[in-house]
Structure 1
Amino acid sequence: MPDEPSTASDLPESAPRGQAALLGPAEVRALAAEFDIRPTKQLGQNFVHDGNTVRKIVAVSGVTRDDVVLEVGPGLGSLTLALLDVVDRVVAVEIDPKLAARLPTTVAERAPELSGRLDVVLEDAMKVMPSQVPAEPTALVANLPYNVAVPVLLHLFAEFPSLRTALVMVQAEVADRLAAQPGNKIYGVPSVKACFFGRVRRAGAVGRQVFWPEPKIESGLVRIDRFEEAPWSLDAEHRKRVFAVVDAAFAQRRKTLRAALATWAGSPAEAERRLVAAGIEPSARGEVLDAAAFVRLANVE
Structure 2
Amino acid sequence: MTSQLLGPAEVRGIAAELGLRPTKKLGQNFVHDPNTVRRIVWAARLEPDDVVLEVGPGLGSLTLALLPAAAAVHAVEIDPALAERLPRTVAERAPELADRLLVTAADALRLRAADLTAPAPTVLVANLPYNVAVPVVLHLLAELPGLRRGLVMVQVEVAERLAARPGSRTYGAPSAKLAWFADARRAGPVPRAVFWPVPGVDSGLLAFERREPPPGPSREEVFAVVDAAFMHRRKALRGALADWAGSPAAAEEILRAAGVPPTERAERLDIAAFARIAAARR
**TM-score range normalised by the length of the shorter chain:** over 0.9
The 3 A distance-change label for structure 1 pair 193 and 47 is same
Please give the secondary structure, in 1, of the residue aligned with 2:108: coil
The match for 1:241 is 221
Question: Hey, what's the Cα distance between the residues in 2 that align with 1:207 and 1:24?
Answer: 16
The match for 1:53 is 36
The match for 1:113 is 96
Deviation at 1:186, TM superposition (A): 1.1
Counterpart of 2:36, as a letter, is T
Question: Hey, what's the Cα distance between the residues in 2 that align with 1:84 and 1:71?
Answer: 11
Please give the secondary structure, in 2, of the residue aligned with 1:279: coil
* 8 Å contact from structure 2 (residues 180, 214) kept in 1: no
2:259 paired with 1:276: no
Give the TM-score taking structure 1 as reference length.
0.92
2:74 paired with 1:94: no
Question: Hey, what's the Cα distance between the residues in 2 that align with 1:58 and 1:271?
Answer: 47
2:112 paired with 1:129: yes
Question: Hey, what's the Cα distance between the residues in 1 that align with 2:210 and 2:14?
Answer: 36
2:204 paired with 1:220: yes
The match for 1:37 is 20
Please give the secondary structure, in 1, of the residue aligned with 2:92: helix
Please give the secondary structure, in 2, of the residue aligned with 1:21: coil
The match for 1:78 is 61
Q: Report Cα offsets for 1:122-157 as digits up to 9, x if no partner.
A: 000000101010121100000011100000000000
Mapping of residues 1-301 of structure 1, within 5 Å: 18-135=1-118, 136-227=120-211, 229-232=212-215, 238-300=218-280, 301=282
Counterpart of 1:215, as a letter, is P
Q: Report Cα offsets for 1:74-126 as digits up to 9, x if no partner.
A: 00000000000100100000000010000000000000000000000000000
Counterpart of 1:142, as a letter, is A
C-alpha RMSD of matched pairs (Å): 0.9
The match for 1:3 is none
Deviation at 1:232, TM superposition (A): 2.5
Q: Report Cα offsets for 1:233-266 as digits up to 9, x if no partner.
A: 6xxx811101000000000110000000000001
Please give the secondary structure, in 1, of the residue aligned with 2:63: helix
Deviation at 1:230, TM superposition (A): 4.1
Counterpart of 1:261, as a letter, is L
Question: Hey, what's the Cα distance between the residues in 2 that align with 1:299 and 1:144?
Answer: 34
- Tell me, which stretches of 5 or more residues in structure 2 are unaligned? none
Same amino acid, percent of matched pairs:
62
Q: Report Cα offsets for 1:190-216 as digits up to 9, x if no partner.
A: 100000001111111100000000001
* 8 Å contact from structure 2 (residues 4, 64) kept in 1: yes
Give the TM-score taking structure 2 as reference length.
0.98
Question: Hey, what's the Cα distance between the residues in 1 that align with 2:213 and 2:258?
Answer: 19
Across the two proteins, how many residue pairs are aligned to each other?
280
Structure 1 stretches of at least 4 aligned residues deviating more than 3 Å after TM superposition: none
* 8 Å contact from structure 2 (residues 32, 195) kept in 1: yes
* 8 Å contact from structure 2 (residues 11, 32) kept in 1: yes
Deviation at 1:231, TM superposition (A): 3.9
Please give the secondary structure, in 1, of the residue aligned with 2:25: coil
Question: Hey, what's the Cα distance between the residues in 2 that align with 1:157 and 1:63?
Answer: 18
